[in-house]
A and B are shown apart, each in its own frame.
Chain A
Amino acid sequence: MNRKLLSRLLLVGVALAMLAGCGGGNGGTSGNNNQSGGSDLSNLSGELKASGASFPDAYYQEVVSAFKEKAPNANVTYNAVGSGTGKKEFGQGLTDFAGSDSLVKDSDGVAAGSFLYVPTVAAPITVSYNLSGVDKLQLSADTVAKIFQTDIKKWNDPAIAADNPGVTLPDKDITVAHRSDGSGTTNNFTRFLKAAAPSSWKLGSGDTVAWPSGTQGGEKNTGVAQIIQQSDGGIGYVDLSDATESKLAFASIKNKDGQFVQPTLEAAAAALEGAELADDLTYNPLNAAGAASYPITSPTYLLIKSRYDDPTKATLVKAFVRYVLTDGQALAKEVNFAALPSSLQQKALAQLDKVQS
């Protein structure tokens, strides 16, 4: 009973905070503020709504919770609805910022020039598997492509054996798991295959691709992880965070320099170093050069408006994103995401100064 009452009171509190935020917005005199959000977050109040990619969801939820402790009157919600829907809602003005693993296309409904990319974290996409008796697996891009196209149907296929000298592979059927929903993870994974195994990979790339029959589709990264977990002989692509949390084993993937690399945060960071940065701060760490780079590393971005009409909103967005890029970076490691290299971090922080109000 008490608990219920408490949650009611909390609701009322949140409502009041929102009112206060609105009131502040109307009374605000000058939009420009020079305070660096890091110092006095406790004065912040208001509500931020965001939605988008589910890939970095675990990380953002951590940051949201931590931010809430620093700024108890500010309420930030991030709804993992997928990159596509996130971009649409952002374009319609339903949300204050959006999360996306993929770049904005013309058809996404976000006007070019109205927004800025802010890279936040990166993470390796693992090729996770469930094969009793095999706890170490190495795969080249060509073999991965053939497995996911179901050209290779058994675990003891010569192609897999060639990648794994000295490992006894069982005579088991392979069950391929992929995303059933449209996904930035699928996009990045298939783009890697297209780039690294151009001769073997025939399914193209995109948020969804036409997977062959005999495969299994799961919802979100966690749905794919569950399928692998449930099937002896299963293999699929899952972000490192969910794969680790689901206690899955993952394969080492052969990178551009011919080395088999485990999906680790260090290897992802190495890939970020090797990636080329565009002027709008987008970058492509897939199949990056460098002996230590993990080749299937996915970037993720926040999309923020280049101009917010409501100055309090602008303050709050800046404060939150600044928090993500500073203190929040330390949280990344705990949930298995790779923090940005400091050069990129500085450039991302500089993006915030471009926001007008």
Chain B
Amino acid sequence: MTATVPPATRAAAGQPDLRRSALSLRRRTTNRVAMAAITLALVVAATPLFLVTWTVISRGLDVLSWQFLTEDIPNSYRRSGGGMAPAIVGTLVITGMAALLAIPLGVFGAIYLNEYGKRKPLARVIRTMADVMTGVPSIVMGLFIYVSFVVVVGAKTAFAGALALACLMLPIVIRSSEEMLRLVPGELREASLALGARQWRTILTVVLPAALSGIASGALLAIARAAGETAPIIATVGLTFSVNTGLFEGQNTALPAQIFRNASQPFAAAQGRAWGAALTLVAIVLIFTMLARVVVSRFAIKER
């Protein structure tokens, strides 16, 4: 008999019905719809990723060839043939130089924040401003190097581009390195200090090696980020159609700048070059990103 009593009577009897079906239809639907919407958000975000990857790969592969990777850029957009070698070399030279500038400085900056500055007001200010600096638009960084370096020296060079990219990388390296230094257990430092090592030796020989792979992975991500920057390159590096490995002599070019220039051309040849350059750039960025992941996973294993 009791088993067939409708739920309402049960509730009235003072025993709350906790079954889902007891919820009002409105509340149930709201919940369902909301949960579906949340899951849908992920799908919505994943769609452009797949679309852009697919387009870049399918259109880029049409153009990509050994010739594309090794030949000079045609000096007229409408010409077909030629390649992107100057832009590939330019990207590697400029980004490499930027990394050489930004990574050591960034790591030392992080050492200051985590080992010396800690919770001091100055360290807090630097920390916040480094965060703010990651938000400085890249075109502004390009203008900054243009007025403070290109105008002074009187020439657009690969080095100017490297300076601009280094300024963009610096705060990223500082903040990611600091996070890694923070993960190094205090006991390590204490052990080293207790053996009589000074703090600077402790940092250089104990703390830094322990955090090295983490720092390296952060640095690689910063490099990947910098390699894709376009606006500062356009403002500071200029343009060339042939390979230029010199940092200080002559104008240079880079993959992102070439993509930008070729993207607004009506000629199929130029648009093809843009897609090919995009695929090359994405591949370079991906290589650095994956390297970072590999380095991190190694680090994780060591931790255990």
Chain B nearest CB from A182 CB (Å) reads: 16
Q: Which of B71, B72, B264 is A222 in contact with, Cβ under 8 Å?
A: B264
Stretch at the interface among B31-39, B75-83, B131-139, B165-173: B75-83
Q: Is A331 an interface residue (CB 8 A)?
A: no
Assess the A11–B242 pair: CB atoms within 8 A.
yes
Assess the B264–A219 pair: CB atoms within 8 A.
yes
Q: Is A159 an interface residue (CB 8 A)?
A: no
Q: Which of A7, A64, A245 is B242 in contact with, Cβ under 8 Å?
A: A7
* Complex: A218 Cα to B242 Cα, angstroms: 26
Q: Which residues of B are found within 8 Å of A220, using beta-carbon distances?
A: 264
B window 218-275: CB within 8 A of A? 239, 242-244, 264-267, 270
DSSP class of A's interface residues: helix, strand, loop or mixed?
A: helix
Query: CB-defined interface of B23-54 with A at 8 Å, one 1/0 digit per residue?
Result: 00000000000000000000000000000000
Assess the B75–A225 pair: CB atoms within 8 A.
no
Q: Is A246 an interface residue (CB 8 A)?
A: yes
Assess the A11–B78 pair: CB atoms within 8 A.
no
Q: Is B199 an interface residue (CB 8 A)?
A: no
Q: Which of A58, A218, A248 is B264 in contact with, Cβ under 8 Å?
A: A218
* Complex: A246 Cα to B268 Cα, angstroms: 9
* Complex: A220 Cα to B265 Cα, angstroms: 9
* Complex: A318 Cα to B243 Cα, angstroms: 29
Closest to B262 in A: A222
* Complex: A79 Cα to B76 Cα, angstroms: 11
Closest to B242 in A: A7
Q: Is A223 an interface residue (CB 8 A)?
A: yes
Q: Is A150 an interface residue (CB 8 A)?
A: no
A window 200-239: CB within 8 A of B? 218-220, 222-223, 225-226, 229
Number of interface residues of B (CB under 8 A): 17
Q: Is B85 an interface residue (CB 8 A)?
A: yes
Q: Which of A7, A61, A225, A248 is B85 in contact with, Cβ under 8 Å?
A: A7
Task: Evaluate whether A4 and B85 lie within 8 angstroms (CB atoms) in the complex, with A222-B265, A246-B267 already known.
Answer: yes
Q: Which residues of B are found within 8 Å of A58, using beta-carbon distances?
A: 76, 78
Closest to A78 in B: B75
Q: Which residues of A are found within 8 Å of B243, using beta-carbon distances?
A: 4, 7-8, 11
Q: Is A65 an interface residue (CB 8 A)?
A: yes
Q: Is B70 an interface residue (CB 8 A)?
A: yes
Assess the B266–A229 pair: CB atoms within 8 A.
yes
* Complex: A246 Cα to B78 Cα, angstroms: 9
Assess the B266–A79 pair: CB atoms within 8 A.
no
Q: Which of B75, B78, B265 is A64 in contact with, Cβ under 8 Å?
A: B75
Residue positions of A touching B, CB distance < 8 A: 3-4, 7-8, 10-11, 57-58, 61-62, 64-65, 79, 218-220, 222-223, 225-226, 229, 242, 245-246, 248
Sample 27 A-B pairs with CB under 8 A, ordered by A number.
A3-B70, A4-B243, A7-B72, A7-B85, A7-B242, A7-B243, A8-B243, A10-B242, A11-B243, A57-B76, A58-B76, A58-B78, A61-B75, A64-B75, A65-B75, A79-B239, A219-B264, A220-B264, A222-B77, A222-B264, A222-B270, A226-B265, A229-B266, A245-B78, A245-B267, A246-B266, A248-B266
